[in-house]
Structure 1
């Protein structure tokens, strides 16, 4: 499976990506706005996570986002908790290379993942969670077509304060309409 946009292509995550993923996973600045726990992981824990949760699972799929011009891996997009019976999944995105932040790569990568989820896997609904202080991500998700579905009040303690976790979702038909309108 390979999806491409103007600047980004997705490729299936492999065992060889573990070292790079470990770097991103342990960068607290990268994980501050996306990971509920700001733990530092030993390499063995990352290897186990990649092996069992990403590569060895039928309910998770991880893809490396690659900048097409430089062939630089810049982040990861994943579908997790895939429920084939009810045609639902949750998505996650992390831009691990900070030089690519704020330049639209996340939108391209996430749209490619949604294309895969809806066109290839024929899923009906994709959800995500975003921290209330991550306003840039919330704006991005709304622009892509995600709708606010609710929130878990004060579910995250970060930087000395309580924050809500916002729940958003997009349906296959909504994504198709958005893509056709372009």
Structure 2
């Protein structure tokens, strides 16, 4: 369930703090995913990992491992899980830039969505993506996500206002029913 041809997802643990810290402070990595673009101290990252990734009842977070090299290349999560209404938001970061553009993000999200819909029995998974991240939007549409709305001009990047696109996919859409 947590693997594909090239990847394995393993649960984030407290030993991942320094690895995640390196991705979280890489501006190239965070430019398209983090609205604040702040630099974080190691202690800030440790607190974030413990409170939001490892000890939270409303999130499930996984390190993306490339099988052939047994290398951690990113992170993906289901966050804000609402078990009563069977909803969640998903996020993904490929933190190792050498692995960008090779389909690892798509593969990791397929593993995560299989888990969300086939194991957790969620009804809906949503995400937010910056409007200038055209590659990600194309990927999400390819996986079956539909655009649901736009938060207009709520992100300031490189001297101009950008939108955030809200997308979602339903259980029956993912299964092709």
Tell me if TM exceeds 0.5.
yes
Offset at 1:20?
0.1
1:54 deviation in Å?
1.0
1:39-70 deviations in whole A, cap 9, x for unaligned? 00000010001111111111011100000100
The aligned residue for residue 19 of structure 2 is 20
Q: Could you say what the CA RMSD is over the residues aligned between the two structures, in angstroms?
A: 0.9
Deviation at 1:120, TM superposition (A): 1.0
Query: Which residue matches 1:95?
Result: 94
How many residue pairs match? The answer is 177
Unaligned runs of at least 5 residues, structure 1 = none
Alignment correspondent of 2:153: 154
Give the corresponding residue for 2:76: 77
Question: Which 5+ residue runs of structure 2 have no aligned equivalent?
Answer: none
Q: Secondary structure at the match of 2:40?
A: coil
- The answer on 1:111 being equivalent to 2:128 is no
- Aligned-residue offset at 1:21: 0.2
* SS of equivalent to 2:69: coil
Q: Distance in 1 between matches of 2:82 and 2:22?
A: 29
Which aligned pairs between 1:162-173 and structure 2 lie closer than 5 A? 162-173=161-172
Helix, strand or coil at the partner of 1:35: coil
Scaled by the length of structure 1, what TM-score is found? Answer: 0.95
TM-score between the two structures when normalised by the length of structure 2:
0.98
State the alpha-carbon separation in 2 of the partners of residues 86 and 92 from structure 1: 19
How far does residue 121 in structure 1 lie from its aligned partner after superposition?
A: 0.7
The Cα of 1:10 is off from its aligned counterpart by: 0.4
Residue 177 of structure 1 and its aligned partner are, at CA, apart by 1.5
2-structure distance, mates of 1:10, 1:125: 21
After TM superposition, the runs of 4+ consecutive aligned structure 1 residues lying more than 4 A away are none
Q: Does 1:34 align with 2:33?
A: yes
